Amino acid sequence: MKIPQEIQIRLLREMLRIRLVQLKIESLYPLDEMKTPVHLCIGQEALAVGVCAHLTREDYISSNHRGHGHYLAKGGDLNRLIAELYCRETGCSKGRGGSMHLVDRSVGHMGSSAIVGGGIPIGTGLGLSIQMQKKNRVCVVFFSDGAADEGVLYESVNFAVFKRLPVVYVYENNQFSVCSPISARQAGENIFHSIAPHLMLTRKVDGNSVLEVYEAAGVAVDRAREGLGPSFIEGKTYRIRGHAGAGSDVHLGYRSREELAAWESRCPVASFRHHLLAESWISEESLAEMEKMINAEIEEAFRFAQESPLPCGEDLLQYLYRE
């Protein structure tokens, strides 16, 4: 499949934007003004971007605690994301959620769960709602290898296959649950790769190659729209930063410097940038211009967040119920 130049440039722009937002968060995090545990997805941008490139605003996603990339790739409002990290009233969750609980209903992001695996059945249920209302939508469920430890994945995928739900399960295998490597937790490759092809499409892709992700997701999303049921895409990637907070955690010793360096050299953003330059599909000048514009947008978002009001203690009980 030949992916048009225009789309490829957009993929790069989206990945770069997510990366730059996170680097900015990381640089300011030590100031302790963002009083919420951030889980950065640096190094994992290709999965969110390559998948969400196929989605419309009406499509749904279900996200997790490491969800800044999903939120932005789906079109979530940047100002409201940063304001949420500053726990402001103008945040996407009005300062009630924090970094792990992002939402933007206007673009089909229906909320992210910080219980590992918790978003999987909810995304499956969103798929059921699409099917029951006969809407031309799909739901993408993003989850990690930690969630693949959970039984709820098995339960949910079984139901989706049984009902032929328009759901795409995107397994972001970043190889770590906090400090535990996947090799210490799972016996072998995920059981759904062994499912009969007529029941569900499964794919394993390089999660650091946005083009591979884009191609596989395109097939999966089309199948879902055509009523052919769910798909299961595993993208192997790597969590470059520590589990939570800013900076490297390589000093903790649960992974080697060599391993980290090897994956850093496979950076999905840098490698794709290199690819587009080599193809002469983008110039250094236009890349610099792109980066400048993104940085201006980020500066504005942080200013918006920092100047926004904090929620009032008096409003503590608000939003428990929808009236």
Q: Which residues bind another protein (CB under 8 A)?
A: 60, 62, 91-97, 101, 103, 105, 110-111, 113, 115, 118, 120-130, 132-133, 151-152, 155-156, 158-159, 162, 318-323
Q: CA-to-CA distance for 120 and 165, rounded, in angstroms?
A: 13
Token pair, residue 200, equals 């569900």
Q: CA-to-CA distance for 86 and 304, rounded, in angstroms?
A: 10
Task: Give the nearest distance from C-beta 69 to another protein in angstroms.
Answer: 19
Whose Cβ is closer to another protein: residue 10's or residue 35's? 35
Task: Give the nearest distance from C-beta 122 to another protein in angstroms.
Answer: 4
Q: CA-to-CA distance for 263 and 271, rounded, in angstroms?
A: 12
Whose Cβ is closer to another protein: residue 155's or residue 291's? 155
Task: Give the nearest distance from C-beta 100 to another protein in angstroms.
Answer: 9
Task: Give the nearest distance from C-beta 316 to another protein in angstroms.
Answer: 10
Token pair, residue 12, equals 């790069």
Whose Cβ is closer to another protein: residue 151's or residue 253's? 151
Task: Give the nearest distance from C-beta 262 to another protein in angstroms.
Answer: 36
Residue pair 44/174 in contact (Cβ under 8 Å)? The answer is yes
State how far the alpha carbon of 266 is from the alpha carbons of 20, 177, 209, in Å: 17, 21, 9
Whose Cβ is closer to another protein: residue 162's or residue 254's? 162
Q: CA-to-CA distance for 288 and 185, rounded, in angstroms?
A: 43
Whose Cβ is closer to another protein: residue 53's or residue 138's? 138
Length of the chain: 323
Strand pairing class (167-173; 231-236):
parallel
